[in-house]
Amino acid sequence: GEDVEQSLFLSVREGDSSVINCTYTDSSSTYLYWYKQEPGAGLQLLTYIFSNMDMKQDQRLTVLLNKKDKHLSLRIADTQTGDSAIYFCAGQTGANNLFFGTGTRLTVIP
Amino acid sequence: EAGVAQSPRYKIIEKRQSVAFWCNPISGHATLYWYQQILGQGPKLLIQFQNNGVVDDSQLPKDRFSAERLKGVDSTLKIQPAKLEDSAVYLCASSLGPRSTDTQYFGPGTRLTVL
């Protein structure tokens, strides 16, 4: 099975950029995903990147994929207090089966 | 468009008791997933349905967990008997189909506490 690893915590000041990192072991994923989970809520898909791309930008979000190193990152520009949440990266295998990392808890300091 | 609905939102039971969770996917979504999320971990897939058939249940502890989706719409997940280590949030998700391009949409989850 796939192993996906993330650092557990990240704190940034409001207005700064946040960078959340993820490493994975299985290179067969067609897509790699970033999900956001707020307290008491389900997972919300933030963005995804196709495995043959290096970068994808979507408003304040930038995803970078380094296939050689099996490293995925999510950059949030101009981080706001509403961005405080747990962020999960996920790989995908088989019939759309997602393998999630442990999640990174982002705390935005006003 | 209504999202994925789950009930109950919270459940507290004693070990060795039984419990059932219910999920109503987004209308028209053929694929339904149940995930288990233990505190401090990412969600782990338990079972995937395509309409009323099981696609993948390789990580479902079949000695105590069961799930069904009889009419290809709603689904129930049952635990019998529950153990302490079953304490977790049980998330239901649905997608149009099983393709990698089909986004999974998650419900709010059911938080189970086993005492």
Can you give the pLDDT at residue A27?
A: 74
The reply to whether A97 touches chain B by the CB within 8 Å rule is yes
Can you give the pLDDT at residue A104?
A: 97
Task: Kindly state the average pLDDT of the residues B44-56.
Answer: 94
Does A96 contact B56 at a Cβ distance shorter than 8 Å?
no
Can you give the pLDDT at residue A1?
A: 58
Does B104 contact A96 at a Cβ distance shorter than 8 Å?
yes
User: What residues of chain A lie within 8 A of the CB of B44, using their CB?
Assistant: 100
Can you give the pLDDT at residue A74?
A: 97
Instruction: Give 10-residue mean pLDDT values along chain A (110 residues).
Output: 86 97 85 90 90 91 93 96 95 82 95
Show which of residues 31-90 on chain A sit within 8 Å of chain B, judged by CB atoms.
31, 35, 40-45, 48, 88, 90
Contact assessment for residue A35 and residue A41, using Cβ atoms and an 8 Å cutoff: no
Does A96 contact B31 at a Cβ distance shorter than 8 Å?
yes
Does A92 contact B31 at a Cβ distance shorter than 8 Å?
no
């190193």: which residue's tokens?
A: A69
Q: Position A95: which residue type?
A: A
Tokens of A8: 């557990």
Does B43 contact A43 at a Cβ distance shorter than 8 Å?
yes
Can you give the pLDDT at residue B1?
A: 63
B9-33 residue pLDDT tens: 999 999 999 999 999 999 999 999 9
Q: Whole-angstrom Cα distance, residue B20 to residue B76?
A: 7
Tokens of A49: 């990147």
Share of chain B above pLDDT 70, in %: 99
Closest residue on chain B to A91 (Cα):
B100
Q: Mean pLDDT for chain B? A: 94
| Probe site for chain B from A8, A24, A36, A43 (most B CB atoms < 10 A) | A43
B78-110 residue pLDDT tens: 999 999 999 999 999 999 998 878 889 999 999
Give the CA distances from residue B69 to residues A4, A19, A110, B55, in Å, rounded to whole numbers and listed in that order. Answer: 30, 40, 46, 12
Contact assessment for residue A91 and residue A41, using Cβ atoms and an 8 Å cutoff: no
Identify how many contiguous H helices and E strands chain B contains and give both numbers.
Answer: 0, 11
Task: Calculate the dihedral angle through the C-alpha atoms of B13, B14, B19, B22, rounding to the nearest 10 degrees.
Answer: 20
Can you give the pLDDT at residue B28?
A: 94
Can you give the pLDDT at residue A46?
A: 94
């993948």: which residue's tokens?
A: B56
Q: Whole-angstrom Cα distance, residue A51 to residue A65?
A: 8
Q: Whole-angstrom Cα distance, residue B55 to residue B32?
A: 10
Measured from the Cβ of residue B59, the count of other Cβ atoms closer than 10 Å reads 15
Can you give the pLDDT at residue A28?
A: 78
